[in-house]
Structure 1
Amino acid sequence: MTARNTLALTVAGLLLMAGPALAQPTEIRIGVALEPPTLDPTAGAAEAIDVVVYQNVFEGLVRIDQTGAVQPGLAKSWTISEDGLTYRFALNEGVTFHDGTAFDAEDVKFSFDRLLAEDSVNAQKALYAPISAVTVIDPMTVEFTLSRPDGLFLFNLGRGDAVIVAPESAANNGAEPIGTGPFAFIQWDRGSRVVLEQYGPYWGEAPALTRASFVFISDTATLTNALLAGDVDGTNNFAAEALAVFENNPQFKVLVGSTEGETILSTNNRKEPFTDLKVRQAMAHALDRQEIIEGATYGYGVPIGTHFAPHHPYYLDLTDTYPHDVEAAKTLLAEAGYTDGFSATLKLPPVAYARLSGQIIASQFAEVGIELELINMEWAQWLEDVFANKDFDLTIISHVEPFDIGIYANPDYYFGYDNAQVQALNETLNATTDEADRLALAQEIQTIIARDAVNGYLFELAQTGVWNAKLDGMWQNAPVEGVVLRDIYWVE
C-alpha cells in the first residue's frame, strides 16, 4: 500500500466519522399567544388572524413593508388621476390561487364588492367607503373610482382586510383559506397549531422557508420552556416580564421594536356614569401611566395621551392633558355626584398586558373611590361580549390597526363615542391629500379625544420578539399586523 493510498483511506475514514453534511433547515415553528377565531382576515377583527395569514396565505393589490411603506403586490403598478378619484391598477400575470384557479381582475372586483356589500362582516368596512365603483377594464387591469379623495387609500389596500379572495373559495376561507400568497394552508389542528407550506407555483420570488407552523401557546412559562427546549424557533411578541431569560443567551436574539398598538382603558361612553365627562376626566387623573408601564410591560411601553402611535409623524404628545393627580380625580368625582365613588366592571382579554394593567389600574382607582371588579375572559368571549355586543363598563385592549383614529368618528363603534365635530374633521381628513393639512387635522382630532377623555390612554405596545439566533429576516417593528414569512431564513 502506498503512502498516497494510506492518506486517501485516512481522509475517507475521517469523512465517514464526521457523517454527512447537515442541510440548512427550511422549516420554522413560531409560538403565538392567541389562536385566531377564523383564518379569513376579511371576516374578523382579531389581530391573531393576520399574524398567521397576512402576506403569507393572502395578498392584496399592494403590500405594506416593514417600514410602513406601500409596495406593489398583486398589482405591479398603478396610475392616479389628477383629481385623485380614479386609480387604475395593472395586475401581475401568471398568478394562481392555491387551488389552481387563475387570478384576474374579476377576482379583485369580487373581493371589493363582497367587502362593501350590505351584509359584509369586514371589521374595517368603513375604511373603504370612498370606493364608489370597481370596474374591470380587461383581465389584467382594474379601475377604482372614489367618491372623494382618500389620502390613505393605497395604504388601506395593503391591509389584511383588503386581501384578494376568489369567488370559488371565499365562503370557506375561515376554515380552509385559499389565497395567492407564497404559502398555502395545509391544516389547522384546533387548539394546537396551523401549518403552512411553500406554494410551488407562487408567482413571485420563492421564500427560503418551505414550511411554517404557528403553535398556539398562551402561557408564558410554557412558551419559555418551548423556546429553551427548541420545540419552537421563535415568537414575534414575547411577554416582557420573561425577556431576561433570553437577553444574554447567545442561542437567541431579542428584537425590541414598536407596534401600532395603542393600549387603552376602553370606556363605554354610552353607559352611566361614563357618559359624564367629569367622571372620565377623574379616571384619567387617577391613572399613573408610568406605574402601569413598569408593571405591565416591564418598562418597554411608551406612554401615550391620545389614540396615536408616538413614532408616527402626526403624533402629538398630550400625556399632560390629565396628569396623575389623586386629589383632582376625587374633586371631579364629587362634582359629578360621586363623592363616595362608584363600582364598575373591568373585562380583561387573555393577554398579559391587559391583565397586569387591570390589576394596577384597579389599585389606582381604589385610591379615588372607584371599585373595579376584574373579569377575565377568553378571546372569543371578549370579541362577542365587548367588541360585538358592547356589553361592558371598562376593558383594556391594544388597538393594533394602523392609523385608526377614524374609529372615533364612528358612533356605532364599541366604545360609543359620538362627537359631530370629530366626525366632520375625520371626513375632511379622509378627503385630504396635502400632508401639511392632514397633519393639522389629525392633531386636532387627537386633541379633542384627549380632552374628552374618551378612553384612558395608557401606552404604545412594544413588539418584543424572541428568536433562534440562527434565524434572520424577522420584522423588528410592526407597522401592520402579521408575521411575514417571506423574508425569514436560516443562517449558518
Structure 2
Amino acid sequence: MNRKTLVLSAVVGLLAPVLAACGGSDSGSNSGDAIVVGTTDRFTASKEAPAPLDPAYAYDVGTWNVLRQTVQTLMVQPRGDGDPQPDAAEKCGFSDSGNERYSCTLRKGLEFSNGDAITAEDVKFSIDRARGIKADSEVYALLSTIDTVETQGDREVIFHLNSADATFPYKLSTPVAGIVNPKDYEKDKLRDGFSVDGSGPYTLETEVKDDAVVKAVFTKNSHYKGQLKVNNSKVEMRSFEDAAAMGSALEKGDIDLMTRSMTPAQITKLDNASGGNVDLNEMPGLEIRYLAFNTNSPSVKTQAVRQAMAQVIDRGELIAKVYGTQAQPLYSLVPATITGHSNAFFNEYGDPSVSKARSLLTKAAITTPVKMTLHYTTDHYGTATAQEFEILKKQLNKSGLFDVTVQGTSWDKFVPAERAGKYDVWGMGWFPDFPDADNFLAPFLDKNNFLKSPYANGTIINNLIPESRREADRLTASKSLTQIQDIVANEVPLIPLWQGKQYIAARDDITGSEWALNSSSTLQLWELGRGVSE
C-alpha cells in the first residue's frame, strides 16, 4: 500500500525507557522464510585491508552493521536511542564521583555462539586486544581513555580510566568493544577474511566471490543472552552493485527490504507513489557529509585557502540540486539535533561570498586560481555523490579563485589512499558511533584521529575535549563543545556540508522496519519480522 511512515527517534533519550526491548533469543517469532535485506554496502578483503570484519579493525557503517548483529558488547544502544543499556552485562556504572572508574557485572550463564562460557577474562582479552593491535583504521582510539582493565572473579570487569569520560558507556556499546573468543582471535594479529564469531543475537555465514561478500546470512543464535528481542530466525543480506539493481530486486520481490544507500530519485518516487506493496520509512538521521583536508599538502596548507573554500561553498544550492528535502545544510561537525550543536561556520562566514573569499586569499598573498583535486568514493555513499562533487567543483571554479577537478575512486581503494595521505582534499560521510557531540568532534580532532589528519590543535586536544568529557550533563558540556566548533570554523581542517535523513523501503508484510535503523544508522535486524502490517 506504499505508505510513508515517519519515525521520530528520541535522540536525547526520552523514549528509551518505554521502548527499550528486552528478552533474548527465546523471544519473538521464528516463523517464515529468511527476511532478505538489500544493501549497496560492499564488504571486500584486500592486501591493504585483509581483515574487514575484525572488531579491532572495522570502522565504517557497513562493517559495523555486520558486527552489531554478531559480536556482543557489554552495553547496547536501545530502540528509540537514549542512554546505552546493559546487554552482555547485567549491570554497569561509574563507581567513583569523578567518572574515572567504570564497573560491569556480566550476566550469568553468558556463552559464545559455540557454547563456550564467557568470563570477565574474555572481556579483558577483547578490549586489550583492540587497544594493543592499534589497527590503522584508528578504531582503537574509541578506547583511548582506558588506562587498565581489571577483572575480579569470572563476572566482574573494572575499567580504570586515565581521565574522566562521561561518554564511556556509549563506547562500550560499539563493536570495537565487542567480546570475542580467544580461541578464534589471536591476541596480537587481526583475523583475516570474513569469519565472525561472538555472542550476539546472530551467527554469520558468508558467500564470497572475488574477495567480496555477495551474501551474508544471519541465523538466530540460540546461545544469545541479552536484552534484545529477536523477532526472526534468519536474515539474509545481499550486496548490490548499485541502488538501481537493489531497487529492481525489491520491485520484483527478490528482496524484502532495502536500506542504504537509496538514491534521492528512488526515495522521491517511493514517497510520491500511491498503491503498491512497498512502505517507505523516513527517520531522523545523524549522518553528516564533509570535506577533509590534508593540512600539510601544499595546495591547502595555508589556512586562508581553506577559509576561502568555506566562504564560497553554497550548501543550499548543493542540497537543492542533489538531495532536496532529504538533507539540510550543516554548519558544524555536530548535527543540529545533538546537544552542544552550534552554527559555527555560518557564524564565521555567513552567506556564500566570492568577494569575501577573494579578500581572504589576497591578504594571505595567495596566487589564484588555486589548483586542486577533490576526491570522493564512487560506491560507498550512493551514486548521488558524483553529482554532489560536480556541483562543488562548479561552485569553486565559478568563483574564479579555484581550478578544481574531481576524481572518484571505489571504496576499497579510496580508504587506503586516504589513510596513506595521498589526497589533499576528499569527501567523507560520518555515521556516529553513538549520539553524542563528542563523537562528532574527537574522532576528527583528537590524537590518533581516524582520518590520520596532521591537523592538531593543542587547546582542543589537551583542554577542551577532556573538559567536555568530565560533564555527565551534556548540556553543561556545551561551553567546551562550542569552543571546539568555533576553532574548527576558524582553522578549517574540515568543512561540514550537510546532514541527512535516512530511509528504509520494505514490502508491507515485513514488520518492524520502522525500528530497523536507529539515529546512528545502526542496522537492527532483530527488529524485523514477517506478518501483516497495521
Q: Same fold (TM over 0.5)?
A: yes
Aligned to 2:185: 170
Name the counterpart of 1:32. 39
Matched to 2:409, the amino acid is M
Alignment of 1:420-431 (within 5 A): 420-423=458-461, 424-431=463-470
Are the counterparts in 2 of residues 52 and 214 from structure 1 also a CA contact under 8 Å? no
| Partner Cα separation in structure 2 for residue 409 and residue 203 of structure 1 | 35
| Correspondence list, 1:119-158, <5 A | 119-121=134-136, 123-158=138-173
Summarize the Cα distance change of 1:58–1:476 in structure 2 as closer, same or farther, 3 Å threshold.
closer
Cα distance between partner residues in 2 of 1:32 and 1:103:
32
Tell me by how many angstroms 1:91 deviates.
0.6
Per-residue Cα deviation, 1:166-185 (whole angstroms, up to 9, x for no partner): 11112447421001011101
- Report the counterpart of residue 257 of structure 1 in structure 2: 283
> Closer, same or farther in 2 for the Cα pair 1:373/1:399, shift >3 Å?
same
Of 407-416 and 185-194, more deviation after overlay is shown by 407-416
Offset from partner CA, 1:15-39 (integer Å, 9 cap, x none): xxxxxxxx95341111111212422
Q: Match for residue 353 of structure 2?
A: 325
Give yes or no for contact 2:56–2:133 (8 Å, CA) kept in 1. no
After superposition, where does 1:297-446 map in structure 2 within 5 Å?
A: 297-320=323-346, 321-322=348-349, 323-350=351-378, 351=381, 352-369=383-400, 370-386=402-418, 388-401=419-432, 402=434, 403-406=439-442, 407-410=444-447, 413-423=451-461, 424-446=463-485
CA distance in 2, matches of 1:324, 1:24: 56
Q: In structure 2, what is the Cα distance between the partners aligned to 1:122 and 1:318? A: 28
Deviation at 1:319, TM superposition (A): 4.6
Q: Residues 354 and 396 of structure 1 are in contact (CA less than 8 Å); yes or no, is this contact kept in structure 2?
A: no
Distance across 2 between alignment mates of 1:374 and 1:34: 23
Residue 195 of structure 1 pairs with residue 217 of structure 2: yes
Rg comparison, structure with higher value? 1
**Alpha-carbon deviations, 1:382-432, whole Å to 9, x = none?**
11001x202102111111124230121337643332211211211222333
Matches within 5 A, 1:58-137: 58-69=71-82, 70-83=84-97, 84-117=99-132, 119-121=134-136, 123-137=138-152
- The change in CA–CA distance for 1:40 and 1:118 in structure 2 (over 3 A counts) is closer
Aligned partners of 1:47, 1:120: CA distance in 2, in Å? 17
Q: Does residue 1:461 correspond to 2:476, yes or no?
A: no
Gaps of 5+ in 1: 1-22
Give the letter for the 2:109 counterpart: G
Query: How many residues in Structure 1 have an aligned counterpart in Structure 2?
Result: 468
Q: Decide whether the 8 Å contact of 1:123 with 1:161 is kept in 2.
A: no
CA contact (8 A) 2:516 2:525 kept: no
Q: Structure 2 length normalisation: TM-score?
A: 0.83
Question: Contact 1:260/1:478 (CA < 8 Å) preserved in 2?
Answer: no
Q: What do the CA deviations read for 1:194-253 (whole angstroms, capped 9, x no partner)? A: 112112232246622111111111312111111101111112232222113322244111
Deviations 1:260-318 (A, max 9, x none): 32210112212123121211111011111011112232331121111112111211123
What is the DSSP-based 3-state SS (H/G/I as helix, E as strand, rest coil) of the residue aligned with 1:285?
A: helix
Whole-angstrom CA distance in 1 between matches of 2:526 and 2:323: 29
Q: CA deviation at 1:52?
A: 2.1
Q: Could you give the per-residue CA deviations for residues 128-177 of structure 1, whole angstroms, max 9, x where no partner exists?
A: 22212211111122111112221100011111221111111124474210
The whole-number CA distance in structure 1 between the counterparts of 2:516 and 2:36 is 18
- Does 195-204 or 455-464 show the bigger shift? 195-204
Which runs of 4 or more aligned residues in structure 1 lie more than 4 Å from their structure 2 counterparts after TM superposition?
A: 118-122
- Equivalences for residues 2-17 of structure 1 within 5 A: none
RMSD between superposed Cα atoms in Å = 2.1
Structure 2 residue aligned with 1:20? none
Answer yes or no: is the 8 Å Cα contact 1:411–1:418 preserved in 2.
no
Asked whether the equivalents of residues 250 and 469 of structure 1 are also in contact (C-alpha less than 8 Å), the reply is no
Cα distance in 1 for partners of 2:307, 2:135 equals 36
Confirm or deny that 1:246 pairs with 2:270: yes
The one-letter code sitting in structure 2 at the alignment partner of 1:198 is: K
- Asked if the contact 2:203/2:218 (under 8 Å) is kept, the reply is yes
Quote how far apart the aligned CAs of 1:359 are.
0.8
CA distance in 2: counterparts of 1:62 and 1:182, whole angstroms: 14
2: CA distance, partners of 1:185 / 1:45: 19
Separation of aligned partners in 1, 2:198 and 2:133: 24
SS in 2 for 1:188: strand
Q: In structure 2, do the counterparts of structure 1 residues 225 and 408 end up closer, same or farther at CA, with 3 Å as the change threshold?
A: same
In structure 2, the residue corresponding to 1:51 is in which secondary structure?
Answer: helix
Q: Distance in 2 between matches of 1:151 and 1:244?
A: 40
Letter in 1 for 2:152: I
Cα separation, partners in 2 of 1:317 and 1:106, compared to 1, 3 Å: same
CA separation in 2, counterparts of 1:315 and 1:330?
A: 29
- State the AA in 2 paired with 1:71: Q
Q: Write the letter of the residue equivalent to 2:526.
A: R
* 1:267–1:354 Cα change, 3 Å: farther
Which has the higher mean CA deviation after the structures are superposed, 105-114 or 63-72?
63-72
Would the alpha carbon gap of residues 206 and 440 (structure 1) be closer, same or farther in structure 2, given more than 3 Å must change?
closer
Q: Which residue in 1 is equivalent to 2:3?
A: none
- Structure 1 position 275 matched with structure 2 position 308: no
Shift of 1:258: 2.8
SS of the counterpart of 1:435?
coil
d(CA) in 1 for partners of 2:94, 2:397: 55
Q: In structure 2, give the amino acid aligned to 1:404.
A: F
Equivalent-residue separation in structure 2 for 1:209 and 1:338 (angstroms): 61
Residue 126 of structure 1 aligns to a residue whose secondary structure is helix
Contact 2:36–2:235 (8 Å) recurs in 1: yes
Amino acid at match of 2:194: A
1:63 maps to amino acid? V
Q: Quick check: 2:88–2:225 contact (8 Å CA) kept in 1? A: no
Summarize the Cα distance change of 1:454–1:364 in structure 2 as closer, same or farther, 3 Å threshold. Answer: same
Alpha-carbon shift at residue 188 of structure 1 (Å): 3.1
1:411 and 1:48, CA in 2 relative to 1: closer, same or farther beyond 3 A? closer
